[in-house]
Structure 1
Amino acid sequence: MGDTRRRGSDQRVVVAALFVATMFITIMDSTIVNVALPSIARDLGVASDSVDEIVISYLVSLAVVIPASGWLADRFGTRRVFLTALAVFTAASALCALADSLSQLVAFRILQGAGGGLLTPVGMAMLFHVYPPADRARAARILVVPTIIAPAVGPVLGGVLTDQASWHWVFLVNLPIGATAFIVGALFLVDRQGTPTGRFDAVGFVLSAVGFALVLYALSAGPTKGWSSATTLAAAGVGIAATAATAWWELRRTGPLLELRLFSNRLYRSVSLTISTMFMAFMGVLFLIPLLMQTARGASATVSGLVVFPEAIGVLVATQIAGSIYPTVGPRRLMTGGLIVVATAALTMGLVEVDVSLWVLRALLFVFGLGAGFVMMPAQAAAFATITPAQNAQASALFNVLRQLAAAIGVALASTALSLAGGDSASGPGGSADPGAFQWGFYVAAVLAVVGLAVAVRVHDADAVVTMRRPGAPPRGANPDSDNGPVSEGS
């Protein structure tokens, strides 16, 4: 009966709903906890500068398990891995709410990150399986929703829950979403078995785990502990060395854990690097605005989150417009135009006075979101256009590793610029920042957008032609002699 029910369900609806729900809570958990940290420190009786371990441990755990997601999905099937990861994430959320010491909370956050790190890439692989290349523009609209809404909702929801209830609710809020998603998945999700896999690449997993964990730790700790501190330098040095060793090892294996050879695919490489660079700028601004509001303008966490929210509205508007014109315009023009808007909005935020009207700031964030949406939607649609179904799980794992590292790098660069311009108190817990220092963080975001623009102009629309198709119509722009050049898998 269960198998019949799963086969009879519309897998596009099931997978899309599960992906949005689970990606939403995993991404939101990266930001919702931030505003509750002072309350957690007081309740657990620890110093305010020690609770950053709660955030760092989650981000590190996410990055460590993502490389294994492709192999696990191919070996055990997407349904089994997805539901197991969801159960781990949901149970760990409950444990986090019950923790009565910092060490317990950090341990449970590591477990939570392990579940969340598998959910996103496996969910993305399932989504691209049920949405063939011709429908990727429609799937991209789904992908953008949790990616954009969750970081903006996190600070607002976290502030309200902490102010009106307690910090425990920033974890308990995951339970109804996680439990509902698990039931829906268990009843209706069809399993997808990948291609036969070889033995698990244990060496690659250890090297990538050490490399990504230490690099992320250094990026998270550097702005607060100091880039010249022995801890930060040691973590960065070992992390970079282990990451380089990962690349060396994986490129020489027949069945690697991370299929780095996918970067020889011209479209996948250029689009992945474009969206990763844009995501650095995006996360940097999302980090700066709440900090500016609370430390320079004295606003509450709830008000700070509400100021950020127009950015999410801008993204949603842009994705609808971009989705409708994508088959005609193609990814290159949309992404380059969006990055110009992102760079201009970030630069303007750096040029205006810190005490500018909140409506001006909201308008700038709305425009910033518009630009980001015009990058993310076509990037999500085009990135996997020339990836075979058998490569979906591996491509998704690599894509999400880049996104996770990009988020950490963006925040680290913005925080470092803020600290250098305004002193160590700029980003410290409960500290106050020099208002003029924030402009440098916005300038960094603008520069990152320009770097992304330099990559985006190298995208070839002809490579993504299979995704540029309206329902019932032949693909547009299929002429290999177009000014975009021929379709190519290589460089």
Structure 2
Amino acid sequence: MRSTGPPNGREPSPRRISAKAAVCGMFIAANFMAIMDTTIVNVALPALGRDFGVQPSGLGSVNVGYLVAMAVFVPVSGWLGDRFGTRPTALTALLLFTVASGLCATAGSLPALTGYRVVQGVGGGLLAPVGMTMMLRAFPVAERLRAQKYVMLPTAVAPALGPVLGGWLVDTVSWHWVFLVNLPVGVAALLFGLRTLPDFPGPGAPRFDVLGFVLAGGGPAAVLYALTRASDGGWGSGRVLVPLAGGVVLLALWVPWELRAGHPLIDLRIVEDRLFRTTQLALLPMGAAFMGVLYLYPQLLQGALDYDALRSGLATFPEALGMLTATHLVPRLHDRVGASRLMVAGGAGAALVVAFLAVGAGGSPAFTLYPAMYLLGCSVGVLFTGGQHAAFVTVPSSRTAGATTLLTMQRQLAAAFGVALAATLARAPADGDAVDAYRTGLLGMAALSVCAAVLASRVGDRRVRDAYPADTARPAHDESVRPEPAPDHG
């Protein structure tokens, strides 16, 4: 009888993790850290000021350095991924971010911490677009809606978890742990990625566009710097107007240069894709409104309802649960309702919830705030999930790096603009009512949500349906139907 044992007496090697699972794991861990670091540090600023002997107004460089470094290096992420491969680029960025987090925890002065935060921002600026590029190349069009629940996880949870976790760490241990918390996650993600992450090579990268990098990196960085300063110094101050004008000029020069360049750093002709363009226009005001609400709402709770920092963070967290719920609902509703209708409903729902928070500012019963934030998360999540899927339906694999780079740049600028506008609208005069000021700011965010709903109506459900390749199955919303795992290239 022929033996049924393994050949050569060796046990078969265990089945390796699929390429899709590897990309999802890396994307969640890396993007979660990068996004959470934009909010977790805020609650540590008073403790940092006490340790370094610096007034709170002088600590802006800690966050500004991180955000500006991200803005500078986001544009080059696509070129690096196409030139050296997505796997080496993602792992190098993750290593840089993790090492810089450890250095931040050891900083003994404000200049040292600012410098380490800049290095951390370089890694963070590369992680998000390269990770999303890998996701788009790993999952075919018909499976991307299901993958959206993984893409949206960091976006949903990280901004809300940052203040809660940061407040708890500062109160129970020290501000150093706001940065040290990244180390175990970063090391685990690096080991996981080295063992399992495949490479998704692009079409190859041409000669590096130096002038394009200066314009594409300098323009958004200057605008972002101005927006982060506007909430403190006002729009009329020189430290806001000068970088804002300079950034706008750089961006105005960047567009014609990239369109004429033989080897552009970012192929801006991707915006000629009508579906990609209209979807991005709808995501822009919704991203601004969402971050503006997350900025104002905790201040309203602490200023008008006497919540402490930890309790206000916990009261904000239902928003994350709502967004996670939306990522499970959209794949099931997409075929029946349509992407455009879902996005319109999400924008309109967000506008109604934010208007409710504004009208009841300071007077709504506490028990109504938790479900309101949950519904806000559901509404924003529906628009984001449907919009991100629709945006890339017609984008070919060779152009995903440029498209994800533009999406990341748009998100950064939208978030900064939303916070700056919310802070400006909510600034109360010396003899004014703070609650009325918060109400004005929230109503402004509700207006932005209405704009998102109106722009989403221009996406068009038929355009999304017709964009699917003829040989591509429609998005599956039956969780029992699971696609075959992609071959492991790692």
TM-score by length of 2: 0.91
The answer as to whether partners of 1:207 and 1:246 remain within 8 angstroms in 2 is yes
Letter in 1 for 2:53: G
CA–CA distance in structure 2, aligned partners of residues 254 and 305 of structure 1: 49
| C-alpha distance 386-5 of structure 1, shift in aligned 2 (>3 A) | farther
Is 1:383 equivalent to 2:388 in the alignment?
Answer: no
Q: What residue in structure 2 maps to residue 365 of structure 1? A: 373
CA–CA distance in structure 1, aligned partners of residues 14 and 59 of structure 2: 43
Aligned 1:216-365 pairs, distance under 5 A: 216-365=224-373
Letter in 2 for 1:447: A
Letter in 1 for 2:215: L
CA–CA distance in structure 2, aligned partners of residues 330 and 287 of structure 1: 31
Is 1:44 equivalent to 2:52 in the alignment?
Answer: yes
Q: What residue in structure 1 maps to residue 183 of structure 2? A: 175
CA deviations over 1:27-52 (Å, ceiling 9, x no partner): 00000011111111111111110112
Aligned 1:80-119 pairs, distance under 5 A: 80-119=88-127
Match of 1:423 among 429, 432, 454: 429
| C-alpha distance 357-74 of structure 1, shift in aligned 2 (>3 A) | same
| Distance apart, 1:6 and its partner CA | 12
Match of 2:195 among 153, 177, 187: 187
The answer as to whether partners of 2:145 and 2:475 remain within 8 angstroms in 1 is no
| Distance apart, 1:129 and its partner CA | 0.7
CA–CA distance in structure 2, aligned partners of residues 454 and 355 of structure 1: 30
| C-alpha distance 101-278 of structure 1, shift in aligned 2 (>3 A) | same
CA–CA distance in structure 2, aligned partners of residues 5 and 168 of structure 1: 42
Calculate percent identity across the aligned residue pairs. 42
CA–CA distance in structure 2, aligned partners of residues 364 and 449 of structure 1: 15
| Distance apart, 1:260 and its partner CA | 1.5
Letter in 2 for 1:216: L
Q: What residue in structure 1 maps to residue 8 of structure 2? A: none
| C-alpha distance 413-111 of structure 1, shift in aligned 2 (>3 A) | same
Q: What residue in structure 1 maps to residue 167 of structure 2? A: 159
| C-alpha distance 459-186 of structure 1, shift in aligned 2 (>3 A) | same
Letter in 1 for 2:474: R
Secondary structure of the residue that 2:426 maps to in structure 1?
A: helix
| C-alpha distance 204-359 of structure 1, shift in aligned 2 (>3 A) | same
Is 1:14 equivalent to 2:22 in the alignment?
Answer: yes
Task: Provide structure 2 residue ranges, at least 5 long, that are not aligned to the other structure.
Answer: 1-11, 479-490
CA–CA distance in structure 1, aligned partners of residues 464 and 176 of structure 2: 46
CA–CA distance in structure 1, aligned partners of residues 34 and 49 of structure 2: 23
The answer as to whether partners of 2:36 and 2:161 remain within 8 angstroms in 1 is yes
The answer as to whether partners of 1:339 and 1:449 remain within 8 angstroms in 2 is yes
The answer as to whether partners of 1:11 and 1:130 remain within 8 angstroms in 2 is yes
Q: What residue in structure 2 maps to residue 469 of structure 1? A: 474
| C-alpha distance 5-379 of structure 1, shift in aligned 2 (>3 A) | farther
The answer as to whether partners of 2:347 and 2:452 remain within 8 angstroms in 1 is yes
The answer as to whether partners of 2:45 and 2:56 remain within 8 angstroms in 1 is yes
CA–CA distance in structure 1, aligned partners of residues 69 and 283 of structure 2: 22
Q: What residue in structure 1 maps to residue 488 of structure 2? A: none
What is the root-mean-square deviation in Å for CA atoms of aligned residues? 1.9
Q: Which protein shows a greater Rg?
A: 2
| C-alpha distance 76-47 of structure 1, shift in aligned 2 (>3 A) | same
Q: What residue in structure 1 maps to residue 444 of structure 2? A: 444
Secondary structure of the residue that 1:251 maps to in structure 2?
A: helix
Match of 1:408 among 397, 411, 416: 416
| Distance apart, 1:360 and its partner CA | 1.4
| C-alpha distance 423-91 of structure 1, shift in aligned 2 (>3 A) | farther
CA–CA distance in structure 2, aligned partners of residues 355 and 330 of structure 1: 38
Secondary structure of the residue that 2:260 maps to in structure 1?
A: coil
| C-alpha distance 314-472 of structure 1, shift in aligned 2 (>3 A) | closer
CA deviations over 1:176-228 (Å, ceiling 9, x no partner): 11110000111111112211221111101111222111100110101201211
CA–CA distance in structure 2, aligned partners of residues 195 and 454 of structure 1: 36
Q: Which segment drifts farther, 453-462 or 306-315?
A: 453-462
| Distance apart, 1:74 and its partner CA | 0.3
CA–CA distance in structure 2, aligned partners of residues 140 and 353 of structure 1: 33
The answer as to whether partners of 1:7 and 1:190 remain within 8 angstroms in 2 is no
Count of aligned residue pairs for this structure pair: 462
TM-score by length of 1: 0.91
Q: Which segment drifts farther, 190-199 or 115-124?
A: 190-199
The answer as to whether partners of 2:78 and 2:402 remain within 8 angstroms in 1 is yes
